[in-house]
Structure 1
């Protein structure tokens, strides 16, 4: 199968305390070099704690942030960060908060017309026809087009956000917590809609979420991030059932499951490391029950540990 998306050593570093003139006092590596491949038509779930770099990675993928190192390839073609339209035609973002992601001063029709005009140069008649087609595909009535964002529920607003992404005719969608702000019943409707649109338009998804049950249900593969790096990648049905990295095992055990006792909380001092003073070796070593001296000295690379599973660990768990 062909590759829809390829990341080669993609990283992001932010300056801290930079004066008006002169160099910054320090730097924070929000995303350490990430190399990933996403096949056409695949849904890749991305999970991890808050602050692990998921959203920073997503913003680099859609051109909202320039990477510090590395490159992004769409279907084998390298994207130029200096050309935002190139990103817009290739990959689109669906935001976590559907209401605040829509301009409150513009009607829904005006919002949907922007990518059609800016990215594809459509005339008014072509825009009307395309918007009608897109609105029907997300199960919304055309009369809604003359209304404003504040007049919609969260579920309706998220459908409009999805419609805006479809309007760009991009082949890849980055879904950043697309259902976390919605009621449970509405979550199911939006997830079913996304599944249908994926088949109908031949889309590829990167699905970012804290909800492991949702990620496991909708993803073909899952990438687990910790402290800015991908520490495990594998098939969705296997990665939580038989994790190889202790952090993945911690995440899987912390997710509430009916009928299973809750995992006892970790001891104090087991938060993410200080980004201004990152530890040597594996960043997860202070929290890892299997950590040894090599873990505290050498940061392990991501290595294959099964037919379709990769993990960055000196002492991987048994399969």
Structure 2
């Protein structure tokens, strides 16, 4: 049986609110509810959902930027030590949404590239020079870029540098957080093709976070749909948006702009979103769901198989 490249076991995050001036300590905001999930080697798992659904919080836990409240993270069967950031850096790396602002403006590209080689792998200068040349050739960047500063590059070039920096750590898993949303459409295609080529050549595993449903569907093997900090649907990319089982997934698909189709709002302007400071009982989506019943008001649905390779957290799934 193949060991998952990445395993999340009841991983969650609650941000404490502290104590009011004269009152008791306030309950925290649960940004990510317990998530249990396996990502297989060489797989691209797409993660989608509205702003505030917990995507970025989940990504930051995976790379060790913030500690989880509960649960564990395993890479290739080994649990990561939350107290040692270097352990995360060697196993999993982050490619940021805004490529230029993610690079230190005071350092040259050479200095930026050398940092993970020094700190994570202890390479001497000759070894660093050789390794950087190899990585730059892999991502189709010229060697003369190394002595320039981040502001001298276009968005597409800066994102290639960000990808090169992630590869320098020799991590096998990349967290791609909206990696092409800040780029022109033609440049998006170039970066996506580069990522696909790197995945095939180096055997990488991706978690691809994006608001662009068409891009996620095109690049992902499976898709996890997040709502209010929970995975509400999980399945093969070709199934999740073509035959969604959760009403929220269908809402996302209906909301996406399509060439030749008039823009229309799938919900009324009076639609209420859940309050993270006062979460609703039962299903968090019930106030927006046309299929909600009394059971939805009382009981939180859990992720359960709906079809082969397709799971949904809904008491009244579509097509059921």
What TM-score results when the alignment is normalised by the length of structure 1?
A: 0.97
In structure 2, what is the equivalent of residue 67 of structure 1? 68
CA 1:196/1:20 → structure 2, altered by over 3 Å: closer, same or farther?
farther
Runs of 4+ residues over 6 Å off in structure 1: 19-23
C-alpha RMSD of the superposition: 1.5
In structure 1, what is the equivalent of residue 216 of structure 2? 215
Q: Post-superposition shift, 1:88?
A: 0.3
Q: Post-superposition shift, 1:274?
A: 0.4
Counterparts of 1:2-151 in structure 2, within 5 Å, are: 2-18=3-19, 24-151=25-152
CA 1:145/1:21 → structure 2, altered by over 3 Å: closer, same or farther?
farther
Matches of 2:24 and 2:83 in 1, distance apart? 24
Matches of 2:60 and 2:141 in 1, distance apart? 28
Q: Any stretches of 5+ residues in structure 2 without a counterpart?
A: none
Instruction: Report SS of the residue matched to 2:16.
Output: strand
Matches of 2:62 and 2:21 in 1, distance apart? 29
CA 1:185/1:77 → structure 2, altered by over 3 Å: closer, same or farther?
same
Q: Any stretches of 5+ residues in structure 1 without a counterpart?
A: none
- Given that 1:227 and 1:272 are in contact with CA atoms closer than 8 Å, whether structure 2 keeps it comes out as no
1:177-227 Cα shifts (integer Å, max 9, x gaps): 000000101000000000001011110000000000000000000000000
Q: Post-superposition shift, 1:21?
A: 12
Counterparts of 1:158-197 in structure 2, within 5 Å, are: 158-197=159-198
In structure 1, what is the equivalent of residue 230 of structure 2? 229
Matches of 1:245 and 1:263 in 2, distance apart? 20
What TM-score results when the alignment is normalised by the length of structure 2?
A: 0.97
In structure 1, what is the equivalent of residue 200 of structure 2? 199
Matches of 1:20 and 1:62 in 2, distance apart? 35
Task: Tell me the matched-pair count.
Answer: 319
- Given that 1:15 and 1:24 are in contact with CA atoms closer than 8 Å, whether structure 2 keeps it comes out as no
Matches of 2:130 and 2:24 in 1, distance apart? 52
1:101-140 Cα shifts (integer Å, max 9, x gaps): 0000000000010100111111110000000000111111
